[in-house]
Amino acid sequence: MLWKIILGFAGLGIVVFVHELGHFLAARLVGIDVEAFSIGWGKPILKKNIRGIEYRIGLFPLGGYCKMKGENEFQEAWEKKQDSITPTPGSFFGAGPFRRILVSFAGPFFNLIFAALVFAVIWGMGFEVNTLENRIILASDISPGETYPADGAGLRTGDRILAINGSETPYYHDVRENIAINPGKNLSLVVDRGGERLDISIKPDLDKQTGAGKIGVFFWTNPVLDNVTGPAAAAGLQSGDRILRVNGEDIPHTMALTKILEGQPPSLKLDYERNGQRGETTLIPAYTETGMELGLSYRSLKYRAPPLSLPGALYRGIRETGKTLVVSLESLALLFKGIDLTQAVSGPLRITYMAGDIAAEGFAESIGTGFSSLANFLALISIALCVMNLLPLPVLDGGAIVLYLIEAIKRKPLHPRAISAFQTVGVVFIFGLLIFAVFGDILYLVRR
């Protein structure tokens, strides 16, 4: 657990560092003096002054900050009851509004550049993904009594979803992505049913816990064992065994076994196949505080994306960044459609945990998979940080850009009182949002 947290902190810190680096470089470019640049927050544990800039390493290893000369001059002017800011040479408010806009925009823009480069590196190196078939199982077949969009559209267990809106979906992750990002939208599916091709229209429901689209399907996993530990190993099962029947019921896919386990049987009589030979055994489940433990995992499919050339990787990186940016912007509207915000909105604790968890799972498979998984997640977080910071809210970069645009249009400096009031509202709002997000994170981690 500890090293997951360390990995998460390091990853999140990189994303915030890139953001602050954008502000730093833009400030230097337009002639605004930078007084300090810190990696991490809190009391500096290391610091060195180089050419008038104090470079620091903070005690709390999360992100960083760029302290520009005179960035609080509006507060000083307001406290002195002045009608305007009296900027000093080289200070933040000594620069014109458009130069301040450039500095404010540079942080989010660097996050986009970082994401595009990370995606390009991933595609340039090639990567491997553990996935499943594009064959589906109706949720209503596993939990009778409920109906979902898949039932209304006429999908059946065993169908293969070959394409969505003209985009091929050869694997489960392709199907899941297209459904997740399109709640409430009509989708055109090309389905294979026993060799017959069908055109089916479907509208995913909005999952109010996650904000993603859902149609009420699981994805097919053949009951072929991968890793065998604990109770399963004690029962004599081995990697490569295929489970045929459990307690007299056929097991065509793993969800059929899940349905049997809902009754929490004291023992399981298994019929299995090993190297063409059939066998029988009895598995005694172990019950722990976290639930039933069988010691079984199942084989997934491995999809390998080959390395791309430098131009191809850069194109793919920019394309993936653009696509993710559009999805992130569309997702903001879902916050006002009754979704469970404690589930859908992630704060720093949850993001840190998820980054570490994703990296740990990847490294458990291979070093390459670990770095690829962590890098992909950080690219997504970097884009989310860009979108969040460009919102026209006080304290955020987007709010600052709005202020400076107003100043540019009026061709007159803003009153220190207006800036102070705007910033105060922002601090209260962001602090409240942070408390809400951390509360949701704690609930999430307790459930985990």
Q: Give the C-alpha separation, 390 to 51, whole Å.
A: 31
* pLDDT: which is higher, 428 or 264: 264
Q: List Cα–Cα distances, 264 to 71, 286, 291, in angstroms.
A: 62, 10, 10
Does 350 score more than 90 pLDDT?
Answer: no
Does 423 score more than 80 pLDDT?
Answer: no
The DSSP H or E segment spanning 198 is strand 196-202
Kindly state the average pLDDT of the residues 259-268. 82
State residue 59's pLDDT score. Answer: 81
Kindly state the average pLDDT of the residues 68-76. 78
* pLDDT: which is higher, 356 or 281: 281
Lowest mean pLDDT segment, chosen from 301-305, 306-310, 407-411: 301-305
* pLDDT: which is higher, 430 or 154: 154
Confidence of residue 349 (pLDDT cuts 50, 70, 90): very low
* pLDDT: which is higher, 347 or 49: 49
Domains of the chain: 2-126+378-447 (no CATH), 127-218+300-305 (2.30.42.10), 225-290 (2.30.42.10)
Kindly state the average pLDDT of the residues 276-285. 91
Kindly state the average pLDDT of the residues 194-214. 86
Question: Which of 20, 133, 320, 407 does the annotation list as catalytic?
Answer: 20
State residue 363's pLDDT score. Answer: 43
Q: What is the pLDDT of residues 315-345, one digit of tens each?
A: 999 998 988 888 777 766 655 555 554 455 5
The DSSP H or E segment spanning 429 is helix 416-447
The answer to whether 273 is a known catalytic residue is: no
Indicate the pTM of the whole model: 0.75
Residues making up the chain, counted from first to last: 448
Interstrand relation of 187-193 and 196-202 (parallel, antiparallel or unpaired)? antiparallel
State residue 439's pLDDT score. Answer: 54
Q: Give the C-alpha separation, 269 to 256, whole Å.
A: 14
Please, what is the angle between helix 367-389 and helix 2-30, to 10°? 50
